[in-house]
Each structure stands twice: as C-alpha cells, then as structure tokens.
Amino acid sequence: MVTIEDVIQNLKVRLNPEREKRMRAAYAFALKAHVGQKRRSGDEYIQHSLATALNVAKIGMRSKTIAAALLHDVPEDTDVTLAEIEKEFGQEIAFIVDGVTNLGKIKFRESKEDLYVENLRKMFLAMAQDIRVVIIKLADRLHNMETLNFVSPEKRQRIAKETMEIYTPIANRLGIGEIKIKLEDLSFKFLDPEHYAHIKLISETEFEARKKSIQRAIYELKRELAKEKIKILNIHGRTKSLYRLFKKMELHDMDINKVYDLAGVRVIVPTIASCYETLGIVHKKFRPMVGRIKDYISLPKPNGYQSIHTTIFGPDGKILEIQIRTQKMHDEAEFGIASHWIYSEQKQGWINFLTFRKKKEEIREELAWVKQLREWQVDLGTDNKEFIEGLKLEFFKNHILAFTPKGDIIDLPEDATPIDFAYRVHSEVGNRATGAKADHKMVPLDYKIKNGEMIEIITSKEKKSPNRDWLRFVRTSNAKSTIRKHLKKEGLI
C-alpha cells in the first residue's frame, strides 16, 4: 500500500515546509472526497491517487504537480467541484486538475469519427498549454496498467492497445524513458501474452548467463578508471526491456545471438569530457565491435536522449554494450522533460530564479514541435483524415536529425525528403528548391534523408512556386499544407 510518506520520501526536489504542507493538504482533501470509494481490485480509491502522485514524484515533479496528481480524479468521481479545489488550492493547481479531467474523457478507439479526432486535438492542445497535465496523465495510466488484470478481458485489450498506440509514443516523445519502458512492457504483456512469456524467459536466461561477465567488467572498469583518476558517480549492470528486446529480435529472425545490446554496463561520470575519456579507456581495456559505436552526445536523439553507446567483447568473450553518460544526461533519459524541474532546484535565491526562468525557456523550446503541431491543426481545419495520417507519421513514428550547412539541427520524421527539409527551414526555400545535396553529394528530391546527414538545398531565384508532383513523396504535414496552399493560390489544384 502506498502512503503519503512514500510520496514525500521519493521527491527529487528540495522539500520545504510550504511544499510539504501543500501535499499533505491535497492528500487529506482527496482522502475525504474519495471516502467509501473502492477500485476494482478492492483497494481504497485513494490508493490510485497516491500511486499516481508517487509516479509523478519519482520523475522529479514539484509539489503543485504532485498535489494535482492527488486531486486529479476528485472532480470527475466525487461530488466535490473544481471550484472548491480552486478555492482550497489556487488557480494553478485547479487548472492542471481540470486539464487531467478533460483528458480522462478521451477514449481512443479505432473510430475515425469527428469526436475522436477532436479529442486527440484537445490532448495536444493541453500539452502545449501545460505539459504537467500530460505528465500526470502518463503517471495515472501507468498505475491503471499495473492494475489492469482486475478489469474484464475485453476492456483489458482496449486499454492495452490505446496505451501502446497513444501513451507510449507520448512518453517517448517527451523523453520520459522510465514511464515509456514500463508502459510498453505492460501493454506487451496483455496484448501478446505468448511472446511476452517467451521473451521474458529468454531475457532472464541470457542475463543470468551474462551476469558474471557483467560483474567482472564492472570490477575491471572501476579499476582502470580509478588508475586514470576518472570519478565514477555510478556504475551498474542493465538489461534491455522486454518489448524492445522482442522488437529487436523480430528484426533478426528471433535469433537472440544477433542482439548485441541485451545486457551491458552503464557508467555515469561527472562531465562530457570524462565521457569521452571513459570511452577511450573502455576501448583500451576491451576490444570494441566495429561499427557499433553510437555518439548520442554530439548528435542527440530528437527527444533529447544523450549517451555514448559502444559494444565490446567483454570478459570471457561475452558481447556487452557499455553506455557512458553524465548524471544530467541520465536524469534526462529517465525523466525527460520532467528533469528540468529537478535541475532548476540546484541553485538558490536570485540565481535560482534566473535558472528556473532559463529552464522554462528550454522547456518551451523543446516543445516547439507541439506548437508546430497546433499551428498545423489550424491549417488543416476540419480535414480529419489528414490529421490522423499526419499525427501517426510526425508524432508517433521515429524521428531523425539532419543538419543545415551552417550546422543548425532540423528535426524530421523517418523517410523525410529534401523537400520536407527545405520547408522546415523556410517556405521560400521549399518553393524555390530545384535540387539537393546530402553530405555534399547530389541526391534526388525524393531521397530519404538518413540520420545525421548534412542537407544542402539548391534554389533558383526565378522559381517561386512548388511542384505539384512533390505531393506524391513529401512526408511532413508542414510541407504538404504549404505546397497545397501555394498551388490553390495559383489555381493549380
């Protein structure tokens, strides 16, 4: 059973009397509102509120978000009104609770009806207005998935499916790896129990076989890093999540011997410089596997993930993956956008105010894609079919990063083309495009850009409008809508 003490003890931000008082007051208020209510599991309803708040605390959110998590089901499931919550806890907490309540009304079914699409639109609107609403919703969904065996088999399937298709990609896009992995594995467990059981057995067996090798690798790395006076903040063994392992095995005909990152060692060091020094020491001690070094520090993933990955032949010849990162990178990998609330706590007084203001700007910048999505929704108007298709492509699929010749980073969905790239830079660059280069080599305009490539768009001063044929291969909604807008203006469609 979860208690309010568990929530408070798992806070990652500084606790002061005001914050503690706020959380305890929210707990007392929710406890009274939910009195007599029980979950399908037979637990008191307040257990769900506490579990949601605990999930929120674990990823580093502050007392107002935790208070809202404790109160999130009160307006919907009790006689207490939102106005009463606002009177007791203020406008900010009431706004977050209201946002979560509204998201709770969304049911993601396979229907393409207008109401379904409008609800999806509302979800992204809520995300752009206050990201804390969606963070609480993810924490709420995680506890619901953990207790999913208490609902009917039919409902179980529906909830697991919408979790895998909607909530997991959102957690991934926000960089909250800890919640994303748990949601994926729980969905996998209910959607495909046979494969889940099979992969779980393989994972446990293989990890057990590699355990001694991992322990020895940790021992030897500690010794080598100490010799070179590299400070280790943390070093531990890790294993791949079950669903990610299943997807990787699918790519290799279900052959576990072709999966090189099943298990490994994660090394956390103080600075970026020590990450690269550690990489050199790892390669000096253990033979690296050719072509298996990934530097996500110099080229982060689109959701902000940073780390160095290298695959080595460890002790006893066992293949292991070594991940090297700083503490900040680790927190951001685990907690994503929520980690900004932790790091804004690191300084006090006026400096802390400036730090927090800077972090708020970073959060807004990182969520620029949500703003773009909202603007695109306005451009589309009531075209629900294109909204759904674009959403699946631009939000729920993997993304790549490409560079301009000046070194600016452009975030694009997989299989994006130079024309998509051009329109991301500026609509005029897209309209005037006549050719493209990828890493200084000429490529066709329907070329599929690879992660990390430098793209140069060749333009013409005379050309002022897009080519109608581009609509056949462009991938981004921004490119499609801009091209259509210009073609309609010229009476070409």
Copy the structure tokens of residue 51: 């579990």
The gap from C-alpha 312 to its chain's centroid, in whole angstroms, comes to 28
Q: Scan for tokens 């924490």, then name that residue.
A: 139
Query: 245 CB contacts (<8 Å, ≥6 apart)?
Result: 199, 202, 203, 259, 262
CA nearest neighbour of 322 among 226, 223, 218? 218
d(CA 142, CA 163): 9
Copy the structure tokens of residue 50: 């506490």
Q: Are 234 and 191 in contact (CB under 8 A)?
A: no
Q: Is 146 a catalytic site residue?
A: no
Q: Is 77 a catalytic site residue?
A: yes
> Exposed e or buried b for every residue in 439-459, given b needs 16+ CB within 10 A?
eeeebebebbbeeebebbbee
Candidate list 6, 77, 84, 411, residue with the active-site label: 77
Q: Which positions are catalytic? A: 76-77
